[in-house]
Amino acid sequence: MPVTSEPPPAFVLPPYKELSNAALSTRIEAIREDWGERLMILGHHYQQDEVIAHSDLRGDSLRLSQLAAESRECRAIAFCGVHFMAETADILANRPEKIRERTGDRVSVILPDMAAGCSMADMAQIDQVEAAWEELSESIDTEKLIPVTYINSTAALKAFCGRHGGIVCTSSNAEKVLRWAFQRGERVFFFPDQHLGRNTAISMGIDVAKMPVWDPLADEAGGNTPAELQQSRVLLWKGHCSVHQMFTTSHVAQFREKFPAIKILVHPECPREVFEIADASGSTAKIIDTVRKAPAGTQWAIGTELHLVNRLKQEHPEQGIHFLSPVVCMCATMYRVDLAHLCWSLENLNAGTLVGKIEVDPEIADWSLVALDRMLELS
């Protein structure tokens, strides 16, 4: 599991909360100037604008980690995202060949607020997955079952996939990964997001009747009969993104009634009924690219995280961009990373007293790399 250091007595977070954003920004920029290319601040697309303004790179979790890992000068990464993202950055930036290139130096990875987790990732704990695997062996041949974990999962789950012949996927390459898995086994065990797994498999022509959902809290067999498991093609974990789960068909109907020409653009983490009636769907990167390429005057109702939709609205005033839900729907844990936490963590870094340090256990990191590299080889 990740190792974290304790906050040193010299720096206590509350005083930072009392500072204005302008003061915090000045102090953050001072650290960036001192460190130069040795420090990289990564900002996930869902982050607040004031945090994004200080980011060296903006993107999705995997791409940010890859880009940071490619830097020869970088010695510290401040990941403005959530826990599993910082784990992936640590795994990729400190893979053995990268450490050799840096003559033994590790890159320190810090998460400005250690409470910034992911509800979806938390829905699939490693002990639950291991117990499910053992129980599944009573009904099906797990030698022919390929585990696939979404990038939005803990390093422990990525390592589980590495050990069991499985692989990692992203929302943009999920179909390619599933095809890879079916070349190697009879069934796929997909976790933790049931919606991405189901929507991808449906797009591939797989019968939804052959996609039972495994509920880790069920008394027996994940809530399934042996026959349902034996007839399955894709076993879906009962997990979801709390943001994308909130979009409904009624939201789509309301926008189409109000704006007849509007296009509905959603993330594949949305429920099946929303995904199937949308005009377009795709990863965060695809959503951004779709809007960027659209002609002026296009109307969009976008089903993804609120900060990203609002940023698209600001960056594309020539288009009519709307948030698909009438309810505020943001990634609350991502929102925990603010300027106060970023400044606090960077000034501790500068003082040599790391807080929020993410360091994945070496064995977990090694097996995670196996699963990640299988995916990266498909690119």
Say which residue the tokens 């692989």 belong to.
167
Let me know: does 345 contact 76? Beta carbons within 8 Å.
no
Alpha-carbon distance values, 23 to 334, 339, 352, 363 (Å): 22, 10, 22, 42
What is the pLDDT, as a whole number, of residue 242? 84
Parts of the chain with a pLDDT under 50: 1-10
Say which residue the tokens 């009924």 belong to.
273
What is the pLDDT, as a whole number, of residue 322? 96
pLDDT (tens digit, 9 = 90+) per residue, 302-347? 999 888 999 999 999 999 999 998 776 656 666 678 999 999 999 9
- Tell me 106's DSSP state: P
Beta strands in the chain (DSSP E): 39-44, 57-59, 76-80, 108-110, 145-150, 167-169, 187-191, 213-214, 234-237, 263-266, 280-281, 299-303, 320-323
pLDDT (tens digit, 9 = 90+) per residue, 162-219? 999 999 999 999 999 999 999 999 999 999 999 999 999 999 999 999 999 999 999 9
What is the pLDDT, as a whole number, of residue 331? 65
3-state SS, residue 214: strand
148 DSSP β-pair partners: 167, 190
- Tell me 218's DSSP state: S
Q: With 0-12 CB in 10 A as exposed, 13-18 as middle and 19+ as buried, what is 29?
A: middle
What is the rounded distance in angstroms from the CA atom of residue 110 to the CA atom of residue 89? Answer: 10
User: For domain 13-117+334-360, which architecture applies?
Assistant: 3-Layer(aba) Sandwich (3.40)
What is the pLDDT, as a whole number, of residue 133? 98
Strands 76-80 and 145-150: unpaired
What is the pLDDT, as a whole number, of residue 207? 97
Say whether the peptide bond before residue 192 is cis (omega within 30 degrees of 0).
yes
CATH class of the domain at 120-237? alpha beta
> Phi and psi (nearest 5°) for 307?
-60, -40
Locate CATH 3.40.50.10800 in the chain.
13-117+334-360, 244-323
What is the rounded distance in angstroms from the CA atom of residue 124 to the CA atom of residue 193? Answer: 9
The amino acid sitting at 29 is: E
Let me know: does 83 contact 151? Beta carbons within 8 Å.
no
Beta strands in 181-298 (DSSP E): 187-191, 213-214, 234-237, 263-266, 280-281
For every residue of 304-341, DSSP letters joined together read: S-HHHHHHHHHH-TTSEEEES-SS----TTGGG--HHH
What is the pLDDT, as a whole number, of residue 7? 45
CATH for 244-323, options being 3.40.190.10, 3.40.1190.20, 3.40.50.10800, 3.30.1310.10 = 3.40.50.10800
What is the pLDDT, as a whole number, of residue 67? 85
